Amino acid sequence: MRRTFLRSDRASRTRWSARRRVGWIALALATLLAVSACGSQGDVVVTVTSTAGAPVTVSGLDQSAAPTSESTALNTKVRVSSKPKFGSTDVAPADPVTVTLFSATMKDLTVTGDDGSTVTGTISEDKATWTLGQRLSYNTTYTFNGTAVDTDGNEVPFTGTLQTVKPEKTPRASFQIPSGTTVGVAAPVIITFAEAITDKAAAQATFKLTTDKGDIKGSWGWLQDEDIQGTGVKQSIVHFRPAEFWPANTNVHVEANLQGVNYGGGAWGKEDISTDFTVGRKQVVQADVTTFHMVVLVDDQVVKNYPVSYGKESVPGRATVSGIHVVTEKYPTFSMCNPEFDYCNVEEKWAVRINNNGEFIHENALTTPYLGKENVSHGCINMGVGDAEEYYNSALYGDPVIVSNTGAQMSEKDSIYDWIYSFADWQKLSAL
């Protein structure tokens, strides 16, 4: 039987550049000289002449006359550059941060947030550049305190600040497959965002998938934004699908490092998420409706050949649709309902959902006389007593059920429809 069931089965679930961008430097020194500092958004390197030990205050603000000093006993030229420029107040937490010295080496640099946090970073082997080693937090001012050593060995302190952006909103994202789960070979990796996001490419650039079987050929595909919960709020959904079914017995790690990523429209990534799951044995169901049988293959070997009854195609709306279905849920008992055909609250046992359009594989004692002989169901795959339970116990989320030789085809209105596309067409759904 087929029941009308429109609920979605999907759970409501960066790029580093190393170029310098900043201009800055204001010096508090004994004898003042005027140094012109450009206030543009491009790279600005200011050459300063300072007395050894005198502090260098680095500012990204527009300065037409940044004070410096000069000592007759010591003439030290130190150049400092940062990206983003010190004084910036809208820094993206996921953006790279570098501080570079010229005509000097870096002795040390500490970075602290006004929330009490300490930020890690590394000084390059030539001691010229400090690179941020972690992502920053939102809405936090970070103070940089460092010591430069000029070419004559004199120490010149420098300091500057950066403030990170304060997001309007930080929608969550979640994986469909929980960590520790074992899935079938057709299971897509699904990430669902709490709302629709604008810059899907920025989000996708943070996705990373690895396996213990090496690289897997596959692609992320963004589906149409959808009001999954029926609340009027559309959500963005992205799937990863291999070019072919997953190799059996594969351990998979997926991460989306979304914290600090600008989605656009005032939305920013809330947090990093990850999942670790296992692809189990390769179980594939071949369901040729013209045979009145359902064949189960495990690791490409036939293990079961069940007599079944498919949808009665001669009646509009009752055909079992052709295509690669994916097992999404299982219920020991399930209440079937299809008002179009005047039935509701019909309890059926051992129900394995293979489509969100109401298609299940389940026991139906009433169709026992037709099993293996005639297709009489309302679209579901009916099985006999005992057989249905046996198949139910063998099925995993993500198992493929390949239905063939019917006039109706799966489409984008179905549940997990990833496999209706050729891999070449699926790749076109990527944002990158």
φ, ψ dihedrals at 287, nearest 5°? -125, 85
Residues 73 and 99 in one domain: yes
Answer yes or no: is pLDDT of 321 > 80: yes
Strand ranges for 230-282 from DSSP E? 237-242, 250-256, 262-264, 267-268, 273-279
Segment holding 202, helix H or strand E: helix 200-204
What pLDDT shows up at residue 59? 52
Instruction: Name the domain count of the chain.
Output: 3
Position 259 in a domain? yes
Residue 429, pLDDT > 80, answer yes
Say which CATH number the domain at 50 has: 2.60.40.3780
Question: Average pLDDT for residues 201-214, to the nearest whole number?
Answer: 98
Residue range of the domain that includes 186: 173-280
DSSP, res 164: B
Has this prediction a pTM greater than 0.75? yes
Residues 293 and 410 in one domain: yes
Higher pLDDT, 100 or 45: 100
Confidence check: pLDDT of 301 > 90:
yes
Contacts of 361 (CB under 8 A, 6+ apart): 285, 294, 351, 352, 354, 380, 381, 383, 388, 391, 392, 395, 401
Q: Is 223 exposed, middle or buried (0-12, 13-18, 19+ CB in 10 A)?
A: middle
**Residues 290 and 276 placed together within one structural domain of the fold:** no
pLDDT band per the 50, 70, 90 thresholds, residue 317: confident
Mean pLDDT of 366-376: 97
Residues 71 and 178 in one domain: no
Q: Do 148 and 47 touch, CB atoms closer than 8 A?
A: no
- Is there a single domain that holds both residue 189 and residue 266? yes
Q: Can you give the pLDDT at residue 18?
A: 35
Nearest to 306 by CA among 216, 384, 222: 384
Can you give the pLDDT at residue 338? 76
Percentage of residues of the chain with pLDDT beyond 90: 76
Q: How many residues does the chain have?
A: 432
Residue positions annotated with a catalytic role: 362, 380
pLDDT of residue 14: 35
The tokens describing 162, both together, are 């950066």
The answer as to whether 202 is a domain residue is: yes
Number of DSSP helices (H) and strands (E) in the chain, helices first: 3, 32
| Residue 114 or 35, more confident | 114
Assess whether 214 and 319 both reside in one domain: no
**H/E segment holding residue 424:** helix 423-427
Q: Do residue 289 and residue 377 come from a single domain?
A: yes
Please give the radius of gyration of the chain, using alpha carbons only, rounded to the nearest integer.
31
Measure the CA–CA gap between 270 and 424, rounded to whole angstroms: 32
pLDDT at residue 58, as a whole number: 56
Query: Angle at CA 374, nearest 5°, toward 392 and 1?
Result: 45
Q: CA of 24: how far to CAs of 19, 80, 403, in Å?
A: 16, 8, 66
Cα separation, 49 vs 47, whole angstroms? 7
Distance of CA 216 to the CA centre of its chain: 17
367 with 303, same domain: the answer is yes
Identify whether residues 186 and 143 lie together within a single domain.
no
* Domain presence at residue 201: yes
Higher-pLDDT residue of 127, 29: 127
Q: What average pLDDT does the segment 387-416 reach? A: 96
What is the model's pLDDT at position 53? 52
Cα(127)–Cα(300) distance, rounded to whole angstroms?
Answer: 59
How remote is the C-alpha of 266 from its chain's centroid? 19
15, part of any domain: no
**pLDDT(168) > 60:** yes
Q: Do residue 368 and residue 407 come from a single domain? A: yes
For residue 264, the model assigns a pLDDT of 96
The pLDDT-based confidence of 258 (bands split at 50, 70, 90) is very high
Spatial distance between the Cα atoms of 50 and 32, rounded to a whole number of angstroms: 10
